[in-house]
Amino acid sequence: MPCRLTLHYQDAPSQQFFLFEGRHYQLGRDAQSDIQINAASVSREHALCYAEKGNWNLVDQGSLNGCLVAGQRQQKIAIRAPLKVLVGDILCLFEPISHQGIVHYEQALSWRQAQQPDISMLTQTSDIEDLLQLVREHLMHMLGCDRAAVIYLDEQQQLEQCVGYPAWLAKDSFSGSKTVIKRVAESGQALVLANLQTDQDLAARASVLRANIQAVLCYPVPVNRQVRAVLYADSNMAQRCFSEADVALCEALAEQLGIALSLQALDHALLQIGSSLQMNHCF
């Protein structure tokens, strides 16, 4: 039986790997490792994972920080059922999975990718609220998280319009993390955190404490080189698995939304020019 391995990083998207019987997998920080774990707490050649007589095993190779189960360091770990192991300080979830389970996973991933809206659908939507609502619906389908929203920013990168679950998206009582949104708007870079408690600034924020936000994904939507919207999702579940696949889906969706918003801005500018020319002609 194969084994699914999920690496839960604190400040980066999670990664998933499928391990198959018949070979040994080297886990470590070294770039040549079969499963590279990019963390300083992980040794270059940290552990070896392999199947033996139908059962999976994880063997520590004399690493500095070890492999821990329930806080106890172990040299050899038998994986008979889903098991959480700390490799260094990275939470690794090992799950024996059937071949049929892998097929189902790949089918689910293909379905999520198919939820991407057609770019023509977005560009034909002229009303900004309708456009944001359409993108938000696709975002919810793709991520399947607790809360998801499309947030439109004004020219000063302040919240101008929020589309999503109404109980928390009122402009004046927004209960997501405005600090996360501000960071993404200013940097133009996506932010993915599996545990906000690792970020001292965010962990102390009133909005994070009030809504018990544990994990967050925020992706910028640039329009004419300025971030004018973000795709935002958060969860109150610790170690929420926002994966590389989630980030890739958000990237594609943000690109499409950016094109649609750019075309709207162009149409608005052309209308203003047309009105100005008409007024000048009258005089």
Q: Is the pLDDT confidence value at 278 over 80?
A: no
Beta-strand pair 215-223/191-193:
antiparallel
Q: For residues 203 and 272, which has the higher predicted lDDT (pLDDT)?
A: 203
For 128, counting Cβ atoms within 10 Å of its Cβ (0-12 exposed, 13-18 middle, 19+ buried), the class is: middle
Which residues neighbour 119 within 8 Å (Cβ) at sequence distance 6 or greater? 256, 259, 260
A 10 A CB-CB count for 120 gives: 10
Q: What is the pLDDT of residues 94-106, one digit of tens each?
A: 999 988 888 777 7
- Joined together, the tokens standing for residue 145 give 């998280």
- Joined together, the tokens standing for residue 138 give 């696709």
Crossing angle, helix 244-282 and helix 99-114, to 10 degrees?
Answer: 10
Q: Is the pLDDT confidence value at 270 over 50?
A: no
Res 200: pLDDT:
76
Q: For residues 163 and 241, which has the higher predicted lDDT (pLDDT)?
A: 241
Under the banding of pLDDT at 50, 70 and 90, the label for residue 118 is: low
Nearest in space to 27 (alpha carbons), one of 95, 92, 96, 102 = 92
Model confidence, pTM: 0.70
CB 245 within 8 A of CB 228: no
Rounded CA gap, 49 and 76, in Å? Answer: 10
Beta strands (DSSP E) in 175-253 are 191-193, 215-223, 226-235
CA 60-34-97 angle, 5° bins: 80
Q: What is the CA radius of gyration of the chain?
A: 23
| pLDDT, mean of residues 37-50 | 96
DSSP class of residue 117? Answer: P
Rounded CA gap, 259 and 179, in Å? Answer: 26
Instruction: Give the type of residue at 153.
Output: L
Res 225: pLDDT:
80
Res 54: pLDDT:
85
Residue 277, sorted as left (phi over 0), alpha (psi -120 to 50) or beta, turns out to be: alpha
Provide the mean pLDDT of the chain. Answer: 79
Alpha helices in 152-243 (DSSP H): 178-187, 200-203, 206-211
- Joined together, the tokens standing for residue 116 give 């991407």
Res 146: pLDDT:
65
Res 246: pLDDT:
84
Least confident of 63-72, 148-157, 215-224, 251-260: 148-157
Nearest in space to 69 (alpha carbons), one of 41, 6, 79 = 79
Rounded CA gap, 283 and 273, in Å? Answer: 16
Q: For residues 6 and 166, which has the higher predicted lDDT (pLDDT)?
A: 6
CB 237 within 8 A of CB 146: yes
Least confident of 74-83, 118-127, 190-199: 118-127
Q: For residues 88 and 224, which has the higher predicted lDDT (pLDDT)?
A: 88
